[in-house]
Amino acid sequence: MSFEEITSLRNNIITLIKGSKIYAAINGIRSLIAEDESWDLTDELDRIETSYKYMIQYFVAGTVDNQQERILCEIVESLYAITDKVYCRISAKVSGEQYFLTQKFVVKSLEQAIEEFKNSHNNLELYGEVEAVDRQQLLNLTIAEEDKGAILFDFIWTKFPLTGSEVKDLADLFDDENVPINLKSMLVAALYLSGSKFYQEHILLLLLSLYSKHQDIGVTALCCLLILMYKYDYRVNNSQKLKNAWTLLSENETFRKDVRSIYFLLIRSRDTEKLTKRVQDEIMPEIMKISPTIINKFKGAQYIKDVDDLEGNPEWRNILENSDLSKKIEELNSIQLSGADIFMGTFSKLKSFPFFRKISNWFMPFHKGNSVVLTSFTEKEEMIKSILLNINYLCNSDKYSFCLSFGSIPKAQRDMMMSHFDAQNAAIKEMQNASLPDPCKSREDIANRFIQDLFRFMKLYSYRQEFYDPFDTTLDLKSVDLILDILTDADTLTYVGEYFMKNEHYNESIECFERIMQSYSDFDSALIQKMGFCHQCMKHYDKAIESYLKYELFNPDDLWNLRHIATCFKSHGNPQKALEYYRRAESLSPDNLSISLNIGHCFLEMGKIEEALKAYYKVDYLDNSHHRAIRPIAWCLFLIGNYESSASYYEKVLSDNPSAHDFLNIGHLNMCLHNYVVAADYYRKSITAFGNDFKTFMEHFENDKEYLTVKGIKQVEIGLILDKISYDCSI
C-alpha cells in the first residue's frame, strides 16, 4: 500500500469515527493494522471493541448507565489514538516526508538530548566568563550549543507518542532557570509541530501549563494551544483533563484578554498575502515611480536622505502631492500603524539562505548571541544588534534574514548604511524613553512575532506542503466549544465582525453580527445596516434590502441607507422602487449629482426617456467638467431619434477615453444615419477594445439589436455589416 493510500484510509477512518460509525471504523483500523502486522495494536483494538460491544449490549437491554457518555468518549479517543499509532508506524517505512526521515536520525533518548544540550550550554557559559575571549572559539561553542538545541527540537517534533516520563522531563526542562529562554521558546514551537502532526492530549496540557507558569514563553504557548484546539476541535471535547484546566484558567481576566488578543492576530494574518500583493503591486510601484518633474527638481540639489526631507521644501512638497506620492506614503504608514504584516513580501526573498533549511531556525527568537548575529556584524557594528533587538514590528525570522543579508554586503556599503542606523537608533531610544511600559502590548508583540514566524514557515519553507497550515483555514476559534465563551461577548464580536467586513470576509462578518443580535437585546441598530451592506457586497439583494428596511425603521432619514436601498432595488431589477428611494434621498440632498444621475438611470430602465434626459441634463449642467452625464445623454438622444444632438455628445465621448461600449454605441448611431462605412469602422474599434474578442462583441451587439430594428434597420442590413466586419478582421 502506498503512502497516499495509507493516508486516504486513515482519513476515512477518522471520518467514520467523527460520524459515530464505530463498527466500520474498527474494521478500517484492522485493515490498517494488517499492513504493519502490529500485533500489540491488534490486542489493544480487541480490548476496545470488547468494551464497545458490552456498552451496546447494555444500551439495547435498556440498562441505565450514568457512565455511558464518559465510556463512549474514552472508546472514541482510544480509536483515534490507535489509528494515529499504526499510521505513524507504517508511514515511517514508506514515506519520504521530512517528519519520518528525521525520525530515523534523531537521538533515541530525550534524557540524552537534554543532557547534551546542557553540557554544551555550560561550556559556552563558562567560556563567556574568560577575560580574553577568542571570537572564533566563542563562535564554535555557540554553534555547538545551537546544534544540540536543534537535535532537541527535532526529537520533540518527531517523537510520537511522547511518553508520560518524557513529558515530565520536558516540564522540568522548562522549569529549569539555567536553560536559556531562547531554547525554551523554540521548543514550544517544536511541541506545536509535534501536536499538529498527531494529536497528543499531554502536549495540549503541557502548553496550557506553560502559559500558567511562565510569563516569558506563556503567550507563545497559548498561541500554539489555540491553533491545536482549533485543528482538533472534534477531540478536545473528549479530554476531561483539558476541560478542567481550561475552565479554571478561563476565570482569569488576563487569560481571557490574551485569548482575544491572539484571536485578533490570527484572523488578521489571513490577509497577509493579500496585503503583501497590494503593497508590492499597487503602493510600492507608485512610491518608487517619482515623476520626471520631481527628478528634475532634485538635479543639482543637496543629497536627499529620505522621503521626509522632500517635505521640507514647499515647492517639492507641492509636486509630491500632485503626483499622489504623499498619499501612497500615508497609506503605507496607515497600514503599518494598524499592525498589519507588511514585510512578508520584502523578506520572503531572503529565506533561501542555508540557515532556513533547518526547521528549528524558523522559530529561534532573535538574540545577540546567535551564531548568525555574531558572524554578520563586526564589533563596530554592535549598535545594529541593539536596533534589531528593539524593533517590535519585525518578526524573528525576518531579523535573521536581515543579518544574513547584511553580512553579505561589501564593506563600503555597510559603512554607508551605518550612518543611517545612527539616526534610527537615536529615534528608537527616544521613543522607548518617552513611552511607559505596557505589559499588555508586550505580550501582544510576543504573540504577533510568533504568528508571523509561523506564517513565514508555512508559506516559505521548502517542504511546507508536508505541514498542517492553519493559515489556509478560517481560523475561527469560535467554532471550538471550550473557547466560545471567551470570544462571544458583544465587544469582541463587533470588533471581529467589522474587521471581517472591512477586509471583505462578508460571510464571517454576518455570522458575528447575527450572533450579537441573537444574544444581546441592546445591540446597536447600525449592526443591521452593516449586515445589509455585507449581503449587498455578496449580491444577496433580497437579504440586503430586508436588513436596510429594518434599519430604516430606526433611522428613516439616513441618507446613506436610502441610497443603498435604492441601489439594491435597481440591481435587483426593480427600477420603479429604486426611483422611490432615490427621490427620498434627493429630498435630503438636492445638490447630490450622483443621486440625480441614478434617478436618470432609473427612468431610462423604465423607458421614460424624456424624464431621464431631464435628470441627465441637470447633472451635465452642474457638473460638466466630470462628463458623468454625456454618455447617457448621447444614448437617450439616440433612442428618441435626435441623431444630430446624439452625434455632438458622442464627439465629447470620443475625447473622454472611449470604451468598447462607446464605440459600439457610436456604431449603432451611424447605422441609423446610414453611414455604413463609419459604422463598420467603429464596430471594428469596439472589437479591438474588447481585446479582439469577437464573441464578446457579438454578445453585446445581440443585446442591442432590438434598438436597431426599432429604428428601421433591416435584418439583412445588420447581416451585411457584420459580414463586412468579419472579412475586414479575418474572423
Distance CA 423, CA 428 (A): 9
pLDDT at position 455 is 97
The answer to whether residue 388 sits within a structural domain is no
pLDDT at position 140 is 95
* Position 303 confidence tier, pLDDT thresholds 50, 70, 90: very low
* Position 121 confidence tier, pLDDT thresholds 50, 70, 90: very high
| 222 and 331 belong to one structural domain | no
Look at residues 95, 120, 143 and tell me which one is the last residue of a structural domain. 95
Residue, of 321 and 716, whose pLDDT is higher = 716
Domain count, the chain: 3
Instruction: Show the cell assigned to 225.
Output: 494551544
| 148 and 183 belong to one structural domain | yes
| 158 and 259 belong to one structural domain | yes
Give percent of the chain with pLDDT exceeding 70: 90
| CB contact at 8 A, 481 and 237 | yes
| CB contact at 8 A, 32 and 5 | no
* Position 656 confidence tier, pLDDT thresholds 50, 70, 90: confident
**Torsion 340-258-470-400 (CA) sign:** positive
The answer to whether residue 655 sits within a structural domain is no
Residue, of 327 and 81, whose pLDDT is higher = 81
| 239 and 289 belong to one structural domain | no
| 195 and 117 belong to one structural domain | yes
| 244 and 303 belong to one structural domain | no
Summarize the confidence of residues 449-469 as an average pLDDT.
Answer: 96
The answer to whether residue 608 sits within a structural domain is no
The answer to whether residue 492 sits within a structural domain is no
| 206 and 62 belong to one structural domain | no
| CB contact at 8 A, 283 and 332 | yes
| CB contact at 8 A, 627 and 615 | no
At residue 155, φ and ψ (nearest 5 deg) are -60, -50
Instruction: Show the cell assigned to 193.
Output: 509541530
Is residue 547 over pLDDT 90? Answer: yes
Distance CA 677, CA 555 (A): 57
Distance CA 527, CA 80 (A): 42
At residue 656, φ and ψ (nearest 5 deg) are -125, 50
Is residue 319 over pLDDT 80? Answer: no
DSSP state of 109: -
* Position 276 confidence tier, pLDDT thresholds 50, 70, 90: confident
| 66 and 194 belong to one structural domain | no
432-442, pLDDT tens digit by residue? Answer: 565 556 777 88
| 123 and 169 belong to one structural domain | yes
132-166, pLDDT tens digit by residue? Answer: 788 899 999 999 999 999 999 999 999 999 999 99
pLDDT at position 433 is 61
pTM recorded for the entire structure: 0.86
* Position 546 confidence tier, pLDDT thresholds 50, 70, 90: very high
Is residue 640 over pLDDT 70? Answer: yes
Look at residues 45, 61, 95 and tell me which one is the last residue of a structural domain. 95
Is residue 538 over pLDDT 90? Answer: yes
358-367, pLDDT tens digit by residue? Answer: 999 999 999 9
| Exposure letters 484-511 (e unless 16+ CB within 10 A, then b) | eebbbeeebbbebbebbbebebbebbbb
Dmax of the chain from CA atoms?
103
Residue, of 315 and 558, whose pLDDT is higher = 558
> Which of 37-41, 345-349, 353-357, 489-493 is least confident?
37-41
pLDDT at position 282 is 73
Residue whose cell numbers read 427620498: 584
Query: What Å distances lie between residue 509 and 472, 519, 531, CA to CA?
Result: 18, 16, 8
312 exposed, middle or buried (CB, 10 Å; 0-12, 13-18, 19+)?
exposed
Contact residues for 31 (Cβ-Cβ < 8 A; gap 6+): 9
Where do the H-state alpha helices sit in 538-693? 541-554, 559-571, 575-588, 593-605, 609-622, 630-639, 643-654, 660-672, 676-689
**Torsion 279-284-287-289 (CA) sign:** negative
Instruction: Show the cell assigned to 444.
Output: 501582544
Is residue 339 over pLDDT 90? Answer: no
301 exposed, middle or buried (CB, 10 Å; 0-12, 13-18, 19+)?
exposed
406-418, pLDDT tens digit by residue? Answer: 888 887 787 777 7
Instruction: Show the cell assigned to 482.
Output: 471550550
Summarize the confidence of residues 15-29 as an average pLDDT.
Answer: 96
176-222, pLDDT tens digit by residue? Answer: 999 999 999 999 999 999 999 999 999 999 999 999 999 889 999 99
pLDDT at position 313 is 53
Look at residues 290, 317, 338 and tell me which one is the last residue of a structural domain. 338
* Closest C-alpha among 574, 500, 512 to residue 537: 500
| 331 and 198 belong to one structural domain | no
pLDDT at position 37 is 78
The answer to whether residue 490 sits within a structural domain is no
Distance CA 116, CA 124 (A): 13
The answer to whether residue 215 sits within a structural domain is yes
- DSSP letters of 168-205? HHHHHHHH-TTS-HHHHHHHHHHHHHHHHHS--HHHHH
pLDDT at position 226 is 98
Distance CA 291, CA 609 (A): 45
| CB contact at 8 A, 269 and 471 | yes
The answer to whether residue 446 sits within a structural domain is no
| 147 and 236 belong to one structural domain | yes
| 194 and 332 belong to one structural domain | no
Where do the H-state alpha helices sit in 270-370? 272-278, 284-288, 292-298, 307-310, 314-322, 325-337, 344-348
Residue, of 545 and 280, whose pLDDT is higher = 545
| CB contact at 8 A, 545 and 570 | no
DSSP state of 313: S
* Closest C-alpha among 159, 124, 129 to residue 140: 124
Q: Residue 321 is part of which domain span?
A: 282-338
| CB contact at 8 A, 9 and 32 | yes
> Which of 383-387, 517-521, 545-549, 646-650 is least confident?
383-387
Summarize the confidence of residues 113-124 as an average pLDDT.
Answer: 96
* Closest C-alpha among 357, 344, 366 to residue 464: 357
Is residue 252 over pLDDT 90? Answer: yes
Is residue 556 over pLDDT 90? Answer: yes
pLDDT at position 598 is 96
> Which of 49-58, 226-235, 273-282 is least confident?
273-282
Instruction: Show the cell assigned to 634.
Output: 448621447
What is the 3 state secondary structure string of 560-601? HHHHHHHHHHHHCCCHHHHHHHHHHHHHHCCCCHHHHHHHHH
The answer to whether residue 729 sits within a structural domain is no
| CB contact at 8 A, 570 and 601 | yes
Angle subtended by helix axes 593-605 and 575-588, to nearest 10: 160
